[in-house]
Structure formats: C-alpha cells, structure tokens
C-alpha cells in the first residue's frame, strides 16, 4: 500500500482561504504547475525560495507514492516591463542594451537558473516548457476566447474583456478583489490605449517595427501576452482541470487571476483545484530590491563576496535556513539567522553520522514509532517544515544520549530511526549529507596544499615575487595562508 493512503495532507488553498484536505483528482496521480522565471537576468534569492518550497512539496508527494507530473515553465517572451500591456519586453530590452540576440539572453539566464537550482540540490521538473515553444497553442487559446465572446481585436492586438467576463463570472475570485474597487482605483485611459477599459489585459500584442521577437497570427505579427502562456502550457500537459498551481505571492494578482479568467473564458471551467502561494523573502527586515541596494544574489551569498553577510554559507545551510520557516510566511534573511542555521545544520549532520556506531540494547527509552508519526503529521499539515525540523531535533538529543549511555535503543528502533531521519532530511527537505559536501572541501584542501608546497619551494629558491603572488592570489580568492614555525596552514573567508 502506498503511503498516501495512510497520510491525509491538508493544503492551504488560496482560492478558499482555508486549509483543505488534499484529494487528488485522479487517485495516485498529482498534476502540479509552478510559474517559472522570466529569463532576462540572474535568478535572485526570492525566486530560489519559491522554487525551493515547491521542490520540497514535489519531494514529499513523491515520497508518499504519488506519481507526480511537475510542470515548471520558462518565460522567454511576452513579459513586458511593468507586468502589464505597455513598455518593452524585458528580454528584448536586455538584448538591445547588450547588443545581442534575445535568444542569447534567454540561453544565458536559463543556464544560470539551472546552475543555481542544481547548486541547491533541486530535483528537475517533469516538464519544463517554454513560451516560445507553444505559440501555436496560445494562438488557439486566444481564438477560443474570442469565439466565446470574451475578447476583442483592436489594431492587430487582442484584449481580454474583463467587464464582459465579470457579467457571468467573478474576476478577482483568487485575490479577493472586486472589479468595482479596481475600477475605482484605476486612472482613466489617456486616450492612447486601444483597450476599452483599463482592467482589460493583452492576449496578443501587435509588434512594433523594431520589436525583434514576433510571430505571425490571424491578427498581426506580434507576441503573446504574459498571462497567456501559463494557461496554454498548464492545460496542455496537465489537462483542463488539474490538482495544484503554485507560484510566488506576488503572482496572485494579476497573473494567476488572469489565468483563471482565461481558462474559464476559453474552456468554461476553472483550471485548478488547489492554488498555493509561497511568501516573500526579505533581507535584514526590508523588502529585497535591486533599486534600493537591499539585495544579495545566490553567488554572493555562497562565495561570501558581499558587504551584507560576515561569511560564506554552504548551499545546504541556506536550504536548511529556508526550510526552518513555513513556505507561507515571510522569511527575513539575516547574518545571525544564517549563522544559527549553520550551527543547527551541523548538529543535525553530526547526529546522523553517529547512528551507525550506536550500541543497541534490549529496550528503547524513546518512543520511535510515535516520533516517526509526528514527522508525517508535520508534513501532512500544509508541509509544515519548521515543525518537522523541531521534531527531527528531538532525535538529535536522543542520539547523543544513546551515545553517552544515558538512553537506550533497540536494534529494530534504531533501523526505523535511521531510515526515517534520512528520508526526511535528505529526500524530503533536500539537504545534502555533510560527507558529500566535504568532498569539495577535501579537493580544495588538496589543491591549496599543492600551492603551499610551490610557495615553500619558491621561498627556498629566494623567488619571493612568486611566493608573494601565490599568497596574494589565494587571499583574493578568499583563502588566507597562515605561516608559523610548524608550517603553513590556510583558512577560508
């Protein structure tokens, strides 16, 4: 019997505003779609947190025995600067600034996105479709919306008629916004827009003569609206009604609201059973923003080359820090928080490393069966990773007590403990065993040792210029040499 039969998950559904018992549309199968990045710049830590949350959810669903089709898209066209219908396409703008092809921008930052996620030990999605690879599907979707009377064409562009849609449906059902309030809070059109109403949004935009990324359509040579791609690709690969749609809290309105409206207008039904949204990542108590300078990217955090944190932190420590908070809560990234997470992470790994050498006895002083169920109970409660981690640390104390002889464990219980803690730490939370991370450290130590010996030889030969260069180059790379009577050692910054 699969584990999902004995584990009832509750998911906070943004649509209802409540935790709901998860019931897969098709027993044993889960379709999950998560909005991926717009690949015009390096992925930032806020994005990483969102994708990490859904990586954890993907991992747990798989652990329970569900066959999960996880679709996460790449936006490589159609995303305008202000997330609306005016301005320049973000990818085209970056390409123009750097005087290269838009698809060079797409390739560069798609590679960066994958490299960053691989660094943090993400599982790849089942399917990773691109907007440009599904232009035909988007054109077909627009035509259906037009045929059903919920869109109109003006000067080669096609717009979704929000007011017409709201006559028979509820625009704002996800974000709990009322169209009347949106109308009241929207400035009047300036006379230069083709839209009937400010709330209408583009399904297809006619390309200006200088716009590089363009495709032929029944209405004009142009490009699809940003909201359209997710509706087209999610329903193509997961069906017209699927289990879970996820993304960052910032996408709830207008992006996900527009997705619901498009699907309802084209297919006559809501597309998703459970809407899930991961919350924001702050930096030192303030919103993370490039414009204000309150910003740090993954590479800077991993290397320690920044003016915000006191040192570099490993990918698993960062992942452990992020998992210490619920995916639905705002998380403040601080140096103190990361330092505390690092200590906790090492305590956890040290305890796991002790398990194989623990002595067993005829009885256990700790109820392993109840503890194991508490781990599942935490994850079944809307993927409550902070409670899971607190539960895992109950056995950290127990493991150390068994080692010291102040507690006891049977052979059978020890096997259950080992299997359970490794499952939740490595398979579900996605942390990496310290021994694996140490492999890179050992290789670094070996390489630095070679350079130390070369420097020693240079000094013996009175080649002080080469000796100083080795020392200075290593220091620039964050490796500090320490000379003493016993020899030379090194530390990393």
Residues in Cβ contact with 101 at an 8 Å cutoff, skipping those fewer than 6 apart: 95, 212
The answer to the question of whether 258 is labelled as a binding residue is: no
Question: Was 44 annotated as part of a binding site?
Answer: no
| 375 annotated among ligand-binding-site residues | no
Say whether 230 counts as a known binding-site residue.
yes
User: CA triplet 328, 329, 333: central angle to 5 degrees?
Assistant: 125
SS3 187: coil
What's the count of helices (H) and strands (E) in the chain, helices before strands? 16, 15
Question: Cβ contacts of residue 416 below 8 Å, gap of 6+?
Answer: 368, 369, 372
Q: In 3D, which of 305, 279, 422, 260 has the Cα closest to residue 353? A: 422
Question: Which ranges of 283-384 does DSSP label H, i.e. alpha helix?
Answer: 298-303, 315-323, 335-354, 368-380
Label residue 159 exposed, middle or buried (CB < 10 Å: 0-12, 13-18, 19+): buried
Q: Which of 176, 141, 129 is nearest to 259 (CA)?
A: 141
Separation between Cα atoms, residue 315 and residue 356, nearest integer Å: 26
| Cβ-proximal residues to 393 (8 Å cutoff; 6+ apart), any chain | 344, 347, 348
Helix (H, G, I), strand (E, B) or coil at 443: helix
How far apart, in Å, are the Cα atoms of 13 and each of 70, 278, 432? 18, 12, 30
The single residue listed with the structure tokens 């002080």 is 464
User: Do residues 56 and 429 lie in contact, with contact meaning Cβ atoms separated by under 8 Å?
Assistant: yes
Question: Which residues define the annotated binding site?
Answer: 35, 230, 255, 259, 290
Question: Which residues define the annotated binding site for ATP?
Answer: 290
Question: Which residues define the annotated binding site for Zn(2+)?
Answer: 35, 230, 255, 259
């Amino acid at each position: 019997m699969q584990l999902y039969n004995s584990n009832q998950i509750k998911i906070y559904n943004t649509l209802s505003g409540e935790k709901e018992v998860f019931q897969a549309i098709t027993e044993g199968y889960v379709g999950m779609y998560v909005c991926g990045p717009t690949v015009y710049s390096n992925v930032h830590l806020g994005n990483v947190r969102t994708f990490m949350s859904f990586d954890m959810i993907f991992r747990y669903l798989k652990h329970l025995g569900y066959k999960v089709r996880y679709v996460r898209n790449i936006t490589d066209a159609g995303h305008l600067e202000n997330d609306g219908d005016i301005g320049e396409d973000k990818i085209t703008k970056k390409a123009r600034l750097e005087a290269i092809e838009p698809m060079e921008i797409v390739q560069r930052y798609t590679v960066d996105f994958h490299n960053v996620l691989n660094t943090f030990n993400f599982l790849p999605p089942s399917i990773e479709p691109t907007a440009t690879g599904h232009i035909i599907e988007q054109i077909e979707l627009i035509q259906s919306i037009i045929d059903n009377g919920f869109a109109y064409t003006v000067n080669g562009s096609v717009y979704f008629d929000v007011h017409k849609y709201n006559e028979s449906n509820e625009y704002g059902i996800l974000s709990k916004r009322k169209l009347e309030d949106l109308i009241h809070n929207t400035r009047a059109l300036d006379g230069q827009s083709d839209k009937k109403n400010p709330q209408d949004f583009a399904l297809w935009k006619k390309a200006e003569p200088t716009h590089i990324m363009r495709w032929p359509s029944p209405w004009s040579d142009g490009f699809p609206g940003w909201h359209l791609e997710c509706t087209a690709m999610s329903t193509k690969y997961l069906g017209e009604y699927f289990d879970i749609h996820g993304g960052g809290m910032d996408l709830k309105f207008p992006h996900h609201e527009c997705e619901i409206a498009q699907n309802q207008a084209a297919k006559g039904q809501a597309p998703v059973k459970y809407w899930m949204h991961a919350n924001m990542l702050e930096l030192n108590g303030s919103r993370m923003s490039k414009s204000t300078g309150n910003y740090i990217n993954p590479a800077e955090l991993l290397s320690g080359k920044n003016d915000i944190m006191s040192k570099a932190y490993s990918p698993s420590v960062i992942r452990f820090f992020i998992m210490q908070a619920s995916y639905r809560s705002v998380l403040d990234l601080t140096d103190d928080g990361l330092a505390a997470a690092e200590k906790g992470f090492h305590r956890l790994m040290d305890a796991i490393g002790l398990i194989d050498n623990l002595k067993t006895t005829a009885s256990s002083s700790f109820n392993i069966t109840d503890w194991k169920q508490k781990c599942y109970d935490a994850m079944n409660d809307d993927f409550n990773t902070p409670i899971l981690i607190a539960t895992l640390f109950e056995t950290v104390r127990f493991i150390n007590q068994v080692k010291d002889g102040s507690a006891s464990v049977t052979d059978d219980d020890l096997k259950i403990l080992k299997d359970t803690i490794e499952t939740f730490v490595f398979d579900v939370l996605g942390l990496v065993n310290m021994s694996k991370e140490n492999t890179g450290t050992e290789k670094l130590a070996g390489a630095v040792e070679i350079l130390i010996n070369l420097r020693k030889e240079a000094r013996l030969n009175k080649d002080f210029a080469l000796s100083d260069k080795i020392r200075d180059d290593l220091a620039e790379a964050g490796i500090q040499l320490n000379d003493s009577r016993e020899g030379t050692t090194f530390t990393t910054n």
